[in-house]
Amino acid sequence: KGKRAFIAGIADDNGYGWAIAKSLAAAGAEILVGTWVPALNIFETSLRRGKFDESRVLPDGSLMNITKVYPLDAVYDSLAEVPEDVKANKRYAGASNWTVQEVAESVKRDFGSIDILVHSLANGPEVTKPLLETSRNGYLAAISASSYSFVSLLKHFVPIMNPGGASVSLTYIASERIIPGYGGGMSSAKAALESDTKVLAFEVGRRHKIRVNTISAGPLRSRAAKAIGFIDMMIDYSLANAPLQKELLADEVGNAAAFLVSPLASAITGTIIYVDNGLHAMGVGV
Ligand code: NAI
């Protein structure tokens, strides 16, 4: 029987979320997507107009089908928490039911259950600032959007996840090694995400037989990464220094994610898997 996946954090065809969706679709999963509210219109319009059709092609030649796109802002757990100015904001006013709790309820109403939960989102408003120059609000916003968002998604989706289900998120090595330029508390947010991967693996493993893993991915020229400002340098650094001196394709991360949420990985939980051409293993650049 085909599995159903909910992938949070797709707004174009350049990021890891899109690649994960494709790998899961190629393996036969039904794809549901959660798209950040301010990016929803352009994503849906582009999808409808065929702008992504070339990137929708699966290995068998068919096109990936996205069954439904839900508006989502993973910074808000329920409607009661949404401030008036956000409700009134014209980028939000056109959509509804986009808090984490409401999205989980909508998915339950539409489909009953899911098997796979993917978290492929992050946001740090002060990411270009060094940690020492990051404001309290900027730091907490990074943690809220990039770390707690996973806790919240898992919490609200676990009740509709089938036993044997699995979740996966995306992290970055700046959590454990110094990567100057990955600022604004984003390095801290990834450290929290990785630690939470272990604690949550325990909690939902014991209670619900659900697995939780995270992929520490190498650099990809996604929309989010371009906003940080140093992505080309990181890609060049990896090409020069990693054990595998090749471009890292988003599909390679997509395939690893598809493995991790599949029965092939049925004993793997609470882990960080590096999909980075091996760069994490280097001690010095040579
Ligand atoms: P991306 O831009 O494709 O994905 C980030 C997504 O997060 C966007 O679709 C954005 O709309 C969404 N988003 C931001 N705030 C949100 C919110 N409050 N609610 C819902 N959605 C929200 O970029 P990318 O790089 O593929 O990012 C996916 C994940 O991969 C992130 O966790 C990122 O930190 C991680 N990653 C990326 C690397 C890279 O070099 N691109 C390296 C290692 C990890």
Name residues whose C-beta falls within 8 Å of residue 218's C-beta, 6 or more positions apart in sequence.
238, 242, 248, 275, 276, 277, 279
Ligand 1 atom with the shortest distance to the CA of 186: 34
Residues with Cβ within 8 Å of 225's Cβ and at least 6 positions away in sequence, in order, are 219, 231
Whose Cα sits closest to atom 23 in ligand 1?
224
CB of 127 closer than 8 Å to CB of 228: yes
Is pLDDT at 1 greater than 80 in this prediction?
A: no
- Cα-Cα-Cα-Cα torsion 59, 61, 62, 66, nearest 10 degrees, comes to 40
Give catalytic residues, as residue numbers. Answer: 172, 182
Half-sphere exposure of 260 (CA within 13 A, CB side): 27
52 close to ligand 1 (CB < 6 Angstrom)? no
Tokens 């802002």, located at residue: 73
pLDDT of residue 142: 98
Q: Using a pLDDT cut of 90, give the percent of the chain over it.
A: 98
Ligand 1 site, residue 189, Cβ cutoff 6 A: no
Task: Give yes or no for residue 123 CB within 6 A of ligand 1.
Answer: yes
At 274, the amino acid letter reads: Y
Residue nearest to atom 28 of ligand 1 (CA): 120
Question: For residues 228 and 172, what is the distance between their CA atoms, to the nearest angstrom?
Answer: 13
Q: How confident is the model at residue 232 (pLDDT cuts 50, 70, 90)?
A: very high
Distance 90 CA to ligand 1 centre (A): 23
pLDDT confidence of residue 286? 86
**Residue 242 pLDDT:** 98
**The predicted structure's pLDDT at residue 176:** 98
Give ipTM to 2 decimals: 0.99
C-alpha–C-alpha distance, residues 75 and 31, integer Å: 22
Handedness of CA 54, 56, 62, 65 (dihedral sign): negative
pLDDT of residue 180: 96
Q: What is the mean pLDDT of the chain?
A: 97
- Asked whether the predicted pLDDT for residue 257 surpasses 90, the reply is yes
The pLDDT tens digits for 115-137 are 999 999 999 999 999 999 999 99
Q: Tell whether ligand 1 has an atom less than 6 A from the beta carbon of residue 9.
A: yes
Confidence of residue 219 (pLDDT cuts 50, 70, 90): very high
* Predicted pLDDT of residue 35: 98
Strand order, beta sheet including 30-36? 66-72, 30-36, 4-8, 114-119, 161-171, 211-217, 272-275
Residue 158 has pLDDT above 80, yes or no: yes
- Between CA 106 and CA 157 the distance in angstroms is 11
Q: Tell me, using a 6 A CB cutoff, whether residue 72 lines ligand 1.
A: yes
Is pLDDT at 194 greater than 80 in this prediction? Answer: yes
Predicted local confidence at residue 5, as pLDDT: 98
> Nearest residue CA, atom 34 of ligand 1?
122
**Taking residues 11-28, what's their average pLDDT?**
98
Q: Using an 8 Å Cβ cutoff, are 211 and 158 in contact?
A: no
Q: What pLDDT does residue 140 have? A: 98
CA of 262 to the centre of ligand 1 (A): 22
Pocket test for ligand 1, best of 18, 55, 76, 120 (most atoms within 8 A of CB): 120
Ligand 1: does its nearest atom lie under 6 Å from the Cβ of 73?
A: yes
The verdict on the CB of residue 225 being under 6 Å from ligand 1 is yes
pLDDT at 63: 97
Evaluate if residue 236 carries a pLDDT over 80: yes
Whether pTM exceeds 0.95? yes
Cα–ligand 1 centroid distance for 1 (angstroms): 30
Average pLDDT over residues 239-251: 97
Q: How confident is the model at residue 285 (pLDDT cuts 50, 70, 90)?
A: confident
Q: How confident is the model at residue 37 (pLDDT cuts 50, 70, 90)?
A: very high
